[in-house]
Structure 1
Amino acid sequence: MAGNVLLVGLLLFCVIADTEALPKRPSCSITHERIICREIYSPVCGTDQNTYSNECSLCQHNQETRAAVWIAYNGECSAVQQHGM
């Protein structure tokens, strides 16, 4: 019985860990006006493997280029992931 509980707990942990790693849609306001961002450094790695200084700057990039870049994860994109190593 204890083995089953441990196995279920481990499985649940793996599912939760994988969910956090999935790309997330940035919370951009829908506007036709140019997005202005504050200069707060809270980097996010975009699904295009570029580091943006914060979520707002990623939204600004999407607006200016009509792209659909999502947040791959919080923090700077690592060199290993950028080059597919």
Structure 2
Amino acid sequence: MRRSGFPPPPALLLLWWFVAGLLLMPPSGEGLSEPRCDLYSLPGCPRNFNPVCGTDGETYANECMLCAANREHEKSVQIAYKTSCS
């Protein structure tokens, strides 16, 4: 005999949690990351445009520019996204 109504079977609950977890995961390549400032010889930065979005909501032309701004303003802004901020 099949029951209809609540509570749903445990397998259905497990499936629901799995799907919700996948949907809430950030897309690949996104999420907070520490800028690799050791790769750049500051104060000069290359002029390539490879935008990153800082945790301060600002778009930087590239990771080196974010590092330069951190050094200049004595901050520790991290990379929120490896693309421009919206």
Asked whether the two chains share a fold, i.e. TM above 0.5, the reply is yes
Q: Does 1:58 align with 2:72?
A: no
Identity %: 34
**Which has more radius of gyration?**
2
Is the counterpart of residue 46 in structure 1 residue 54 in structure 2?
yes
Measured in 1, the distance between the counterparts of 2:29 and 2:39 equals 25
Residues 2-81 of structure 1: pairs in structure 2 closer than 5 A: 10=19, 13-14=22-23, 16-17=25-26, 21-29=30-38, 34-78=42-86
Go from structure 1 to structure 2 and tell me whether the alpha carbon gap of 1:20 and 1:8 turns closer, same or farther (over 3 Å shift): farther
Structure-2 separation of matches of 1:10 and 1:51: 32
Counterpart-to-counterpart distance in 1, 2:80 and 2:62: 13
TM-score scaled by length of structure 1:
0.66
Q: C-alpha distance in 1, partners of 2:12/2:26? A: 21
In the alignment of these two chains, the number of paired residues is 77
Using a 3 Å threshold, how does the CA distance of structure 1 residues 16 and 38 change in structure 2: closer, same or farther? Answer: same
CA distance in 2, matches of 1:4, 1:71: 35
**Which of the two has greater helix per residue?**
1
Give ranges in structure 2 of 5+ residues lacking alignment: 1-10
User: Match of 1:81?
Assistant: none
Q: Give CA-to-partner distance per residue, 1:13-56, whole Å, 9 cap, x none.
A: 3475378543111111189x743110000000000000000001
In structure 1, runs of 5+ residues without a counterpart are 79-85
Contact 2:35-2:79 within 8 A present in 1 as well: yes
TM-score by structure 2 length?
Answer: 0.65
